[in-house]
Amino acid sequence: MRSKILTAGLVLALTAALGGVADARPGGPKLADPHPCPGQPGFTCSILTVPLDHTGRVPGTIGLPVATADNVTAPKGVLLFLTGGPGQGGVGTITRIAKQRLPEVAKDYRIVMLDQRGTGPSGALQCPGLQAQMGSSDIATPSPDAVRECAAILGRTAPLYSTDQTVADFDRLRQALGVPKLVVDGVSYGSFTAARYAIAHPDHVSKVILDSVLPHHATASASLYLTGLTAEARVLRAACAVAPACGYDPAEDLAWVVRHRGTADGVRIFDTVVSYEFLDPTYRNPQAGDIIGALHEARDGAPARLDALLEAYKSGGDDPASFSAGLHAATLCADQRFPWGSAATPLPLRQPLLSLTAHTLPPSATWPYTTEVATQQGFIQSCLPWPAERPGSNPAGPLPNVPVLLLNGDRDLSTPMEWAREEAAQAPRGRLVIVPGESHSIQNRERGHAGRDAVISFLGSR
């Protein structure tokens, strides 16, 4: 659409036959300022202007960077690939996804990516205190002052970074591309937005891919990260059983270390183990630090290796252009449901309701961690002092009756496979593929090809 000059008649013909490249309706959304994406040959970059508030309550607009593949006549139409976080941009990664990771898909589909509102080099929300303390972590505990600083910076615009607004942006993009339907493919938080788009606009999706799945219906259990906490026992034990077997129980080691080092270190250990999976999904590679061995040594009275890993994986300081901690907080605090309810719950009621929930949790709900780790990690502590605001919607119904592929690694601790099974139960035409030995983000980071083969097969079928 932006890399080729087409006559009006040809534009309309392509729109009807192939999913099109421009919105045919006068006055509809447009992609402005098309130009070659710097350093990414084969892709055109442009700007999509969207309302700041799709409800019309707050005036103004936002310009969202968009990257589109130049194969405007792709035989199977447009695939919108959605990145995660929330907080990651997308435009800068389109070459990696389309040419390096999914070249087979890129032959048949026109791949499109965007910097979602509040992300990317030109649009990232800037919250210096939160950025310094959390960076790209879900789990690191921020200070209340850093949270309040961020909320004050965003002011009345804070609720406008909810998934509801982002989903509305996606449909403006679909209209600007002139296509009646999209294949929507999302990774991690992108799976949440992909599912929510499919629910909000079922007539405009043909297929959905949910990779490293965050269930679309937010719950208090998810905000406490209970599934992720308890999944560590399963994952570490499975890793320890691979030959040559460890000969000890890494979950018991983890539980012992957490209880003997206290809550603050418990949160740091949780954050470190989840971050560690991105480097070493075996959890035992000595060159990466061998987190299982380090925990075992710490239990035996030699904590030096574990302490070194905690320092090496310490969260904070990431460039907002690559991951905006401010956007991460604004979106989660609007979208999620907590032990105190939604974003609308008054601040004075939140801590008492959180404490009540904590008192009712059995030890099994968080083991090998503790209840205190669950209530002190970043999902909770980012939103506990966040100002009361209008919450985002929280659809509890099933996904639409379209083909859905769900992918998850069995070693994933960011979005454990238990979440993928939960979401698969909400997909009438869903197919769940668990990829053995792999961790988070199958399409982007899988070492083998089994998960990507499932994607290729799914997108190649009618």
Residue 17: predicted pLDDT = 32
Distance CA 271, CA 369 (A): 12
Residue 27: predicted pLDDT = 74
Residue 54: predicted pLDDT = 97
Opening angle at CA 250, ends 248 and 254, nearest 5: 135
Residue 25: predicted pLDDT = 52
Q: Does the pLDDT of residue 253 top 90, yes or no?
A: yes
Per the DSSP assignment, residues forming a β-bridge with 45 are: 35, 67
Residues in the chain, overall count: 462
Distance CA 282, CA 449 (A): 17
Phi-psi region of 406 (alpha: psi -120 to 50; beta: other; left: phi over 0): beta
Q: 72-83, pLDDT tens digit by residue?
A: 999 999 999 999
Distance CA 131, CA 146 (A): 9
Average pLDDT over the chain reads: 93
Q: Which residue has the tokens 């979602």?
A: 116
Q: Does the pLDDT of residue 5 top 90, yes or no?
A: no
Q: Does the pLDDT of residue 462 top 70, yes or no?
A: no
Residue 16: predicted pLDDT = 31
Residue 168: predicted pLDDT = 98
Distance CA 22, CA 176 (A): 6
Residue 303: predicted pLDDT = 98
Q: What tokens does 236 get?
A: 């570490």
- Report the interhelical angle of 291-299 vs 263-276 (nearest 10°): 150
Residue 261 banded pLDDT, cuts 50, 70, 90? very high
Mean pLDDT confidence for 123-133: 97
Mean pLDDT confidence for 252-258: 98
Percent of the chain with pLDDT over 70: 94
Mean pLDDT confidence for 278-305: 97
Comparing 349 with 12, which gets the higher pLDDT?
349
Q: Does the pLDDT of residue 7 top 80, yes or no?
A: no
Rounded to two decimals, the pTM is 0.93
Q: What tokens does 74 get?
A: 């792709």
Q: Does the pLDDT of residue 12 top 60, yes or no?
A: no
Question: DSSP assignment, residue 390?
Answer: P
Residue 461 banded pLDDT, cuts 50, 70, 90? confident
Comparing 113 with 25, which gets the higher pLDDT?
113
| Least confident range of 20-34, 164-178, 180-194, 263-277 | 20-34
Q: 336-367, pLDDT tens digit by residue?
A: 999 999 999 999 999 999 999 999 999 999 99
